[in-house]
A and B are shown apart, each in its own frame.
Chain A
């Protein structure tokens, strides 16, 4: 069965590279854990972090940041100060759309986004795993930080149990196999119609469909290929806390990210910590996150906001600790995972996009604890550097000027 299907797979040209990738990847794994794969995760805290609590006061000393002093992995992280996205002066919350793309003026009515950095990485690094990338958010909003090469939002997944099910749940293999075969037949028929429509219809319209259906077909083939490999068996470690739903959600999404990396189910993850109007509850504070973020310097409001941000930092810290607790090759999972923690907002009260709070952790870099850039520097310089670090040879990305080697290896 196994063999037969693989041959079947190879009949279709487009699936060939995919199959090779996967086989090669597995061969890699067989050569023991000599060279663990690189992974990367982008975490966008959409309402920023209160600057005075986030950035260290004394340059270079993370102990002087009230948020970061409790981080356990200070030696494996670098706080970058003075990064910004050019062209976001009036972008407000829309700037979240451009967090990983750097496309200017996301607030303008005819804005079209560009590909996000995680998606470029996924194209390169996603071949050998069951999922090329994963994209999570807290709420069902339909968009997060991941945008495809046509600038269309990739809807993130937000339901933890659905994500767990997708990653580790059992499936009825026979039924799934049948369904995938039928779906591919359906696509072949639809492609016949598409060919015909291209001759008579609105080419732009038909081609937009043709592109998407080709992507879907590729993902069906990928799914078909991976049906031959059992999903990793992982006990469900998600929290069911109904009191602090928000906290539990942040924790669970990070837990899922950890499990996905640990089981090598994917190597690229994007997590959008998005917001809605309305109250959330974390230990010690209940309130509208967004309303509180316009704190205006009022101490009582700030106190609540900081409790929320402290709670998020706490989960991020636990995430880093957990990654660092997993041995892999000659290091830990954290050493092989670049963790980017950032935001599209610098000052949450004014909702401005300067001096973006940014942390890079793990990834095996020689961390600098705290790097203050001399002048405002495009965040895209960092994105460019990360692309280079993952062997993607591009000259520029978004508004990048140069690779500044902020993360020495």
Chain B
């Protein structure tokens, strides 16, 4: 197995995730694209873990999985709150913060 093949798979998934974050309007779909990005990072971490013969990559992959779970929980709670207040979760319509 080559190092490059895993890193390229990670890069492809990362870029698809970035496209999803940029292109999607629905907040739930943006959260799904963020999950794609986090998974590509995990593949890279585990590939480097094998490459260096160290277990640190596994540890940090587990940390990233836990962080992603927390992020999805808070993100969906926010989406729910926005939906309750505005009856839509289209990110284009959220302009109170003038972003």
Chains A and B belong together in one complex: no
